[in-house]
Amino acid sequence: MTAKPAAAAARATVYGYPRQGRNRELKKAVEGYWKGRVTADALRSTAADLRRANWRQLADAGIDEVPTGDFSYYDHVLDTSVMVGAVPARHRAAVEADALDGYFAMARGTQDVAPLEMTKWFDTNYHYLVPELGPDTVFGADSAKQVAELREALALGLTARPVLVGPVTYLLLAKPAPGVAADFDPLTLLDRLLPVYAEVLADLRAAGAEWVQLDEPALVQDRTPADLNAAARAYRDLGALSDRPRLLVASYFDRLGDALQVLASAPVDGLALDFTERAAANLDDLAAVGGLPGKRLVAGVVNGRNIWINDYQKSLATLATLLGLADRVDVAASCSLLHVPLDAAAEGDIDPQVRRWLAFARQKTAEVVTLAKGLANGTDAISAELAANRADLASRASSALTRDPAVRARTAAITDADGRRSQPYPERAAAQRAHLGLPLLPTTTIGSFPQTDELRVARADLRAGRIDTAGYEERIRDEIREVLSFQEQTGVDVLVHGEPERNDMVQYFAEQLTGYVATQHGWVQSYGTRYVRPPVLAGDISRPEPMTVRWTTYAQAQTSKPVKGMLTGPVTMLAWSFVRDDQPLGDTARQVALALRDEVNDLEAAGTSVIQVDEPALRETLPLRAADHAAYLDWATESFRLSTSGVRPDTQIHTHMCYAEFGDIVQAIDDLDADVISLEAARSHMQVAGELAEHGYPREAGPGVWDIHSPRVPSTQEAAALLRKGLEAIPAERLWVNPDCGLKTRGWTETRASLENLVSAAREVRAGLTADNG
């Protein structure tokens, strides 16, 4: 059947695009600026070149309306804080002295001033900088960045739409500033913030903006009546402005629920909604509220978060249904394409058959354009694209890569007993204390040590054939010995080998497991200049041979102190990969868990007494709606226990989590049944320690006392103060001392100084406890 063309020609658009450039030019320029090798003017020039290249690429692909304002040197939420004048008092002098240096100081901190807290952007692996607000916050408009970037795009002859974080989401993402009462609600500042947004909108209108997009993804979460009333008031007031562009309010990542009625009835000019699988309820809900008569609907039917090709027929059916629900329907990705790599065509090492299943940002842009063309002109206009799409979908569905009968049989045979340790925690703890003989307040690190330029060169030389495997491995052994020697000299109690052989905490394992496909150029921004290459989880997972035993046992042979075995947990292996979407996530997690269980058991058999299975993604993968939490946490915690429950009672199982809000998953942390958990806590001032205590968490914990995402070196006194604060919530016999996260991104100079101060702080506090008890 041939679909009829839309009454009004559908337009193609996106909400944002990868910032880094084809060869991560932005990362190199920003880090060069930090090191004094790149001038501010050169950095700005590189950024402008990248913006122009992105816009031209989008326009050449057929995008009718390009986004502006989505580009950022570090983080778009930090950009919003600058736009509304919400600069913390401790950073104001730096910002006034030099806006660019002050901006980076807010993001990274300085030796004397702490940065803003950083946490996950909803349930993605992107991190944003948390606004700090209080009852005395004074807002002020600074639209210079937004106006300048709009003018750049208009000067190229393009139709451009500025994209801003909406005022309600901005306040809902904020936290009380240090020194402000913990129960302060930033949303009470809405009436103070709206005039600032009004001024920014007027500036953009004067600069030539016809439409402005205001992103309100916080409204897809469970919201209180007060939150919804705030959203209604915000868009009533902004919609009533006389001097404004047309307003497009966007949501993504999930269904809007009750907020849809609020936005549909607001005096705005259009809505941009997510219609991908996890937000499919938006379709029926939109019909139930009577659609958007007289308004524009931007339909996010191309998934902006995964890398699998779109099902054109399914998307066109959704778009056809939407035609009767709005004055005009345009086509978009479901969210910013910031969350996917740039171009699948660059992945020449991937099997061509598999590459046909993949859509990165450039391919998703083409999908949006194709769907808009089909909606506007009928399916006959895209018959060749439809035929190719059907063939690619069929190829994936029938591929032997996606199904391994042996893996499926083993997964089906899992029993409840496989996910339980042989003894309860109190008995295990006694056995571990006797076996390990650790002091009060034991010190450790999270796993990785600095990845030096020499290591990166050695890895590149190996790939290029300039050195052989033997030469490369000798370099790795040298690095392991150096890392161990430093830890022993410093006085760390439980050591790590530093992971010099690993390129990434997920990719390293993915390259050794069946069912995964690695990319060479699939970089995605995690935060600031930290980019990762998520592997593609395309098929059933198994472990052909041990992955970490060799290097861990080598490290243990160099020292009499315990060396941790270091693994990445099943939930994080999924969350930090582009995971298959053709079976339930829980099924895939159990496959990964069984592979890791084999590795854990092999590490123990080789003499490893402490094994850490990191799950930093447990919280970030939590569904945005509370109704969906239980089902997710059930398979997530089960998969962790399945990975770790095959060991003896005297083998100590650690886990680690960082940069997330932990309070609403404390029960799940408990359900993991890990013997020790280390958590990010430095930037949040030990908040998680209190949350664990309030829950009655019964096992050992190490809330971090060193913020490793900042280059500043914490003093012994600072670390000791955080440690004492931790002791207010966690008994000394159950408290560990550690950094917030791994040290891969830090330099050796700051690492040495910071770790020495951390150990000194532990000794100081330990001595005080011993004296008190004596």
Residues sharing a CB contact under 8 Å with residue 352, sequence separation 6 or more, in sequence order: none
> How would residue 68 be classed by pLDDT, with cut points 50, 70 and 90?
very high
Can you tell me the mean pLDDT for 340-351? 96
Distance CA 104, CA 315 (A): 41
Rounded Cα distance between 772 and 752, Å, is: 30
> Where does the pLDDT of residue 1 fall: very low under 50, low under 70, confident under 90, or very high at 90 and above?
very low
Contact 319, 371 (CB under 8 A): yes
Q: Read off the pLDDT of each residue in 540-562 and give the average, rounded to a whole number.
A: 98
Please count the other Cβ atoms lying within 10 Å of the Cβ belonging to residue 748. 14
Is 515 in a helix, a strand, or coil?
strand
Distance CA 768, CA 759 (A): 14
Pairing type for strands 565-568 and 578-579 reads unpaired
- The confidence band for 528, taking pLDDT boundaries of 50, 70 and 90, is very high
Return the beta strands (E) in 218-259 as ranges. 246-250
Neighbours of 627 (CB within 10 A): 9
pLDDT tens-digit series, residues 721-735: 999 999 999 999 999
What is the reported pLDDT for 685?
85
- CB-facing half-sphere around the CA of 271: CA atoms within 13 A: 29
Examine the pLDDT at 182 and tell me if it is beyond 70.
Answer: yes
pLDDT digits (tens, 9 = 90+) for 358-414: 999 999 999 999 999 999 999 999 999 999 999 999 999 999 989 999 999 999 999
Q: Are 149 and 131 in contact (CB under 8 A)?
A: no
Alpha carbons 740 and 44: distance in angstroms, whole number: 32
Taking residues 167-188, what's their average pLDDT? Answer: 97
pLDDT in tens, 577-616: 999 999 999 999 999 999 999 999 999 999 999 999 999 9
Q: What global pTM score does this model have? A: 0.90
DSSP 138: -
CA angle 404, 600, 468 (to 5 degrees): 80
* Residues 518, 534: Cα–Cα separation, whole Å: 8
Active-site residue set = 709
What pLDDT was estimated at residue 4?
47
Going by pLDDT thresholds of 50, 70 and 90, the confidence category of residue 709 is confident
> For 640-669, what is the mean pLDDT?
92
Residues 709, 745: contact at Cβ < 8 Å? yes
Q: Is the pLDDT of residue 663 over 90?
A: no
Angle ∠(308,313,316) on CA atoms, nearest 5:
105
Maximum Cα interatomic distance, the chain, rounded to a whole number of Å = 86
Condensed to tens digits (0 to 9), the pLDDT of residues 125-162 reads: 899 999 999 999 999 999 999 999 999 999 999 999 99
- C-alpha to C-alpha distance for 563 and 654, rounded to whole angstroms: 12
Burial level of 408, CB count in 10 A (0-12/13-18/19+)? middle
Question: Who has greater pLDDT, 270 or 458?
Answer: 270
Q: Average model confidence (pLDDT) for the chain?
A: 95
Distances (CA, A) of 453 to 30, 79, 148, 497, 748: 17, 31, 37, 18, 11
